[in-house]
Amino acid sequence: MSRIASVLIPMPLPEAFDYAEPEGMGLEAGDQVAVPLGPRLIRGVVTGLRDATGGNRPLKPVAERLDDPRLPPGTVEFVQWAARYAVDAPGQPLAIALRGARAPKPRPTRVVRATGVQPARPTPARAKVLAAATRAMAPAELARAAGVGAGVVKGLIDEGVLALDHVTPDARFDVPDLTRRGPDLSASQAAAAEAMTAGLGGFGVTLLDGVTGSGKTEVYLEAAAAALAADPDAQVLILLPEIALTQAVIARVTARFGAQPGEWHSDVAPPMRRKVWEGVAAGTCRIVVGARSALFLPFRRLKLIVVDEEHDGSFKQEDGFIYHARDLAVVRGRIEDAAVVLASATPSLESLRNAETGRYRWLKLAARHGTARLPDIELVDLRETPPEAGRWLSPPLVAAMGETWARGEQTLLFLNRRGYAPLVLCKACGERMTAPDTDSWLVEHRYTGRLVCHLTGFSMPKPAACPHCGAKDSLVSIGPGVERVEEEARALFPDARIAVFSSDTVFDAREARRLVETMAAGDIDILVATQAAAKGHNFPKLTLVGVVDADLGLRGGDLRAAERTYQLLAQATGRAGRADRAGRALLQTYAPEHAVMQALKAQDRDAFVAAEMAERELAGLPPFGRLAAVIASGPDAAQLDAFVREMAEVAPNTPGVEVYGPADAPLGLVRGRRRKRFLVRCDRGVDLSAYMAAWRARVKVRGQLRVAIDIDPYSFL
Ligand code: ADP
């Protein structure tokens, strides 16, 4: 009987489409196929096959089964689960999963290898070929090695004595050397590694909760070694929030296993992406270190997923397909029956709650490795000891920098703000420079001499006159970014070696690695950095961290403002004083009495978490309740208004679910589109995705209007 194939296409279409399977094609679920869509042939993935039972409408046939790896069932299931969770088209996560499959291939070459079949007609020339065929090699190379003509090799291929294969030249991955050992673990590290290893072999989530420098990486690499050793096909995935951090962990994995892991992030060149994708699908790439989208790779036998710095907001993908890689890592682990390890010195409240209630195994590392101590943290009250006018570094911080430099040690100045100044205004008319058709200030960048919108990417040269009132030389730069702090540090310490680390100054993975290595080698005295450098790295001679604006993250105050500020500053200050050198951190603040500052100073995470949890519980906010956001947008304000009113009217009435809005989004205008938001809150037991899908189904999105749904939102702009 003929069969019908459901084919999912990596585009934002609502569902899989049915095609007829041509006689004898022998499709299986997960196969990549070419199917007609409109006038074109397009790549898709078979998600299911069923018998065609009489009288159906005629279906277009599948055009071709592509000669590309089949997606394993776990990957297909994960893609479908993710789409349902995010209330989005399944083609969206599928497009992420196929990103490597569609990248251009390194060109394949032909190789032959002996099959073990004996030639029907043995000759001396044939015997020479068989003696030379000790490994797979190109037919011409084999003929040369055996000292025979190409015809002899071809004859043996035709007879089945040699098998002909097509291989990609560099399709191989280093095999991890599991005889290598890591460092001797301390008693508490060894206990954590043992508990983690005991949890391998099936699904389960572990929260590895250890202060900065306690050896979390060493511990999870030990668990990775155990997972790889237990099963010759096992694969391990290590997820990190930043490209700079992937570089550091790749170096450590390479040193630990004598093998380069597969690398996966936006900066990996397409042929390499293809290689990793295919190596993961074939099972030859056994360790992957990557950014969030590595979670969608077609693993054959995934046994361990590590999410390092699990609290980090960068795991949330905010545009296109909206998802949180930490949350989805747990789902992927369940689907693949793999162990999941979430590691952090400042775990998210979500993960802490799961650990407290026993859903996650909770492993703690309370102290830094060896004799290294946590830094002393001091608050600098900017009301009492302000910087000079037009400067940003206060006298106590400048004095500490001087002492640090005199001792030949390093300073990290942390400011989570790119560019030179976050705002440019006209002192004649008061006009603030904003991006065209967007509610966002233009940030001044002195290196490039441009004003840049960090939201839309728009940029323009800094004008000589105010575009609003025409006054000349009236534009002034307000507030500091890293470039401005660097300028000030250079003026204060003209002989010091100073560098800036932000996503504007460090463009790619190689540059990030170079800068991290230079800093680690002690060849930079003062590093001015955004969060790109403030996480996870070990800089042995770094003994002073100065936080230029500790209050920055508290402004604007969304749900996680305090939590995020605490995490970021604990991470940044945690860079100080590793490797046996005492460290110091100075936090410049106008609000030293704020709970976050007090908790940082006392290094009392538990008290901070307890207070924050109590507030969230009272309000029914995450992790005690759940949220979803709806962002509706469109170019026409009146049409958008009418639309969101209509949306509000059709919101389903469900016990335990509250809908707030519509309200103007704080970013009310982006690229000429007006934006409105709803916020939905529900109790933990509610199937929020199902609720949102039901609401969405009642709404007809017309013309240029757009509706984006964000489950478990992290941004409220
Ligand atoms: P974390 O991931 O918790 O920040 P790391 O694993 O990076 O901690 O460890 C911090 C530093 O201490 C690293 O340089 C690491 O190599 C070193 N270290 C940790 N544990 C050990 C150990 N048992 N033996 C030797 N060095 C260790």
The reply to whether ligand 1 has any atom less than 6 angstroms from the CB of 217 is: yes
| Mean pLDDT (whole number) for 74-90 | 96
Cβ(505) to ligand 1 under 6 A?
A: no
Q: Does ligand 1 have an atom closer than 6 angstroms to the CB of 538?
A: yes
Does some domain include residue 121? yes
Whether 571 is in a domain gets the answer yes
173 assigned to some structural domain: no
Q: What is the pLDDT of residue 536?
A: 66
172 Cβ contact partners less than 8 Å away, ≥ 6 residues apart? 284
Residue 542 has pLDDT above 80, yes or no: yes
Say what the pLDDT of residue 210 is: 94
Q: Is residue 684 over pLDDT 70?
A: yes
Same domain, 437 and 571: no
Q: What is the pLDDT of residue 557?
A: 65
CB 714 within 8 A of CB 313: yes
Same domain, 60 and 18: yes
222 in contact with ligand 1, CB cutoff 6 A: no
For residues 489-510, average pLDDT: 88
| Average pLDDT score over the chain | 92
Cα separation, 567 vs 312, whole angstroms: 8
- Write down the pLDDT at residue 55: 60
Centroid of ligand 1 to alpha carbon of 537 (angstroms): 11
CA angle, corner 427, sides to 423 and 428, nearest 5?
140
Residue 246 · residue 290 · CB < 8 Å: yes
Q: What is the CATH number of the domain that holds 241?
A: 3.40.50.300
| Amino acid in the structure at residue 703 | G
Confirm or reject: Cβ of 183 under 6 Å from ligand 1: yes
- Per-residue confidence band for 621, with pLDDT thresholds at 50, 70 and 90: very high
Q: Is residue 179 included in any domain, yes or no? A: no
Q: Are residues 396 and 302 in the same domain?
A: no
H helical segments located in 507-594: 509-520, 531-534, 561-573
pLDDT at position 134 is 84
| pLDDT tens per residue across span 240-292 | 998 888 888 999 999 999 999 999 998 898 988 999 999 999 999 999 999 99
Predicted pLDDT at 300: 96
Residue in 208, 218, 222, 365 to alter for ligand 1 test, most ligand atoms within 8 A of Cβ: 218
How is residue 14 written in tokens?
A: 């609502």
Q: What is the 217 CA–ligand 1 centroid distance (Å)? A: 7
- Binding site membership of 577 for ligand 1 (Cβ less than 6 Å): no
Are residues 543 and 441 part of one domain?
Answer: no
Distances 477 to 79, 415, 447 between C-alpha atoms, Å: 47, 17, 14
- Please, which pLDDT band fits residue 497 given cuts at 50, 70 and 90? very high
Q: Which pLDDT score, from 0 to 100, does residue 1 have?
A: 66
How many Å lie between the centroid of ligand 1 and the Cα of residue 535? 14
Q: Give the pLDDT confidence of 565-574 residue by residue, as tens digits.
A: 999 999 888 8
Q: Is 620 domain-assigned?
A: no
Residue 189 alpha carbon, nearest atom of ligand 1: 23
Please, is 26 exposed, middle or buried when counting C-beta atoms within 10 Å of its C-beta (0-12, 13-18, 19+)?
exposed
Residue 215 CA, ligand 1 centroid: distance in Å = 4
Give me the CATH number covering residue 690. Answer: 3.30.70.600
The residue nearest atom 20 of ligand 1, judged by CA position, is: 215
The CB density around residue 385, as the number of other CB atoms within 10 Å, is: 12
Q: Which of 4-18, 536-550, 563-577 has the highest mean pLDDT?
A: 4-18
pLDDT tens track for 283-325: 999 999 999 999 999 999 999 999 999 999 999 999 899 999 9
On the question of pLDDT at 484 being above 90, the answer is: yes
Exposed / middle / buried, residue 423 (Cβ in 10 Å: 0-12, 13-18, 19+) = middle
For 119-133, write each residue's pLDDT tens digit. Answer: 888 899 999 999 888
Examine the domain organization and report whether 404 and 435 are in the same domain: no
Tokens of residue 275, six digits: 């290689």
Question: Is residue 181 included in any domain, yes or no?
Answer: no
Identify the residue with better confidence: 582 or 497: 497
The secondary structure element, H or E, covering residue 677 is strand 673-683
Q: Which residues of 187-220 are buried (b: 16+ CB within 10 A; e: fewer)?
A: ebbeebbbbbbebbbeebbbbbbbbbbbbbbbbb
Q: Is 575 in the pocket of ligand 1 (CB under 6 A)?
A: no
Residue with CA closest to ligand 1 atom 5: 215
Q: Are residues 343 and 204 in the same domain?
A: yes
Contact, 349 vs 561, CB < 8 A? no
Give yes or no for a contact between 234 and 286, defined as CB atoms under 8 angstroms apart.
yes
Helix axis angle, 150-159 to 124-132, nearest 10°: 80
Ligand 1 in reach of 368 Cβ (< 6 A): no
Say whether pLDDT at 167 is over 80. no
What is the per-residue pLDDT for 245?
Answer: 85
Q: H/E element holding 230? A: helix 216-230
Residues 438 and 557 in one domain: no
Is the pLDDT higher at 32 or at 114?
32
- Residue 218 near ligand 1, beta carbon < 6 Å: yes
Q: 234 and 352 share a domain?
A: yes
Last residue of a domain, one of 74, 97, 120: 97
In percent, the amount of the chain with pLDDT more than 70 equals 98
Chosen domain end from 479, 495, 514? 479
Check if 214 has its Cβ closer than 6 Å to any atom of ligand 1: yes
Give the model's pLDDT for residue 553.
86
- Average pLDDT, integer, range 441-470: 89
Q: What are the strands of the beta sheet with 542-547, ordered from one edge? A: 376-381, 584-589, 542-547, 410-414, 526-529, 498-501
Is residue 498 situated within a structural domain?
yes
Q: Spell out the residues 6+ positions from residue 542 whose beta carbon is closer than 8 angstroms to its own.
A: 409, 410, 411, 412, 519, 575, 576, 577, 578, 583
| Token pair in block for residue 567 | 């995490």
- Domain count for the chain, please give it: 6
Domain identity same for 321 and 197: yes
Q: Is the pLDDT of residue 592 over 70?
A: yes
**In the structure encoding, which two tokens stand for residue 202, read together?**
């099936």
228, pLDDT greater than 90:
yes
Looking at the predicted structure, is the pLDDT value of residue 170 above 80? Answer: no
**In a domain? residue 717:** no
Ligand 1 atom nearest 183 alpha carbon: 24
Sign of CA dihedral 84, 89, 92, 94: positive
For 125-186, give the DSSP string: HHHHHHHH-SS-B-HHHHHHHHT--HHHHHHHHHHTSEEEEEE-TT---PPP-TT---PPPP
Q: Can you give the CATH number for the domain in which 10 is found?
A: 3.40.1440.60
Ranges of beta strands (E only) in 551-647 are 584-589, 625-634
Coarse DSSP helix, strand, coil percentages of the chain, rounded to the nearest 5 percent: 30, 25, 45
**H or E stretch at 8:** strand 3-8
Q: Residue 428: how many CA atoms within 13 Å on its side-chain side? A: 11
Helix or strand holding residue 257 (H, E): helix 243-257
pLDDT at 505: 74
pLDDT at 666 (0 to 100)? 86
**pLDDT value, residue 56:** 64
Residue 374 pLDDT level (bands cut at 50, 70, 90): confident
Q: Is 715 in the pocket of ligand 1 (CB under 6 A)?
A: no
pTM of the model: 0.85
- How would residue 116 be classed by pLDDT, with cut points 50, 70 and 90? confident
Residues 118 and 241 in one domain: no
* Residue owning the nearest CA to atom 15 of ligand 1: 215
Are residues 334 and 440 located together in one domain of the fold?
no
Q: Are residues 246 and 337 in the same domain?
A: yes
Q: Say if ligand 1 is within 6 A of residue 535 CB.
A: no
Mean pLDDT of 646-666: 94
Per-residue pLDDT tens for 53-73?
766 678 999 999 999 999 999
Q: Confidence band (pLDDT; 50, 70, 90) for 186? A: very high
Helix (H, G, I), strand (E, B) or coil at 604: coil
Q: Which domain holds residue 487?
A: 376-417+481-613
Cα–ligand 1 centroid distance for 164 (angstroms): 48
pLDDT above 70: residue 180: yes
Rounded to whole angstroms, the Cα distance separating 24 from 36 reads 19
For residue 433, report the phi and psi dihedrals to the nearest 5 degrees.
-75, 120
256 lines ligand 1 (CB under 6 A): no
If one counts every other C-beta atom within 10 angstroms of the C-beta of residue 536, the result is 24
Identify the domain boundary among 47, 74, 97.
Answer: 97
Q: Which of 538, 580, 581 to mutate to test the pocket of ligand 1 (most atoms within 8 A of CB)?
A: 538
Query: Is the pLDDT confidence value at 537 over 80?
Result: no
| 454-477 as b/e: b if 16+ CB within 10 A | bbeebeeebeeebeeeeeeebbeb
605 contacts 572 by C-beta, under 8 angstroms: no
When pLDDT is averaged across residues 457-463 and rounded to a whole number, the result is 90
pLDDT (tens digit per residue) in 500-525? 998 777 767 788 888 888 999 999 99
Task: Name the E strands within 382-436.
Answer: 410-414, 423-426
Report how far ligand 1's centroid is from the alpha carbon of 213 (Å). 6
381-430 pLDDT, tens digit per residue, is 999 999 999 999 999 999 999 999 999 999 999 998 999 999 999 999 99
Sign of CA dihedral 534, 535, 539, 544: positive
Which residue puts its alpha carbon closest to atom 6 of ligand 1? 215
Q: Calculate mean pLDDT across residues 91-107.
A: 89
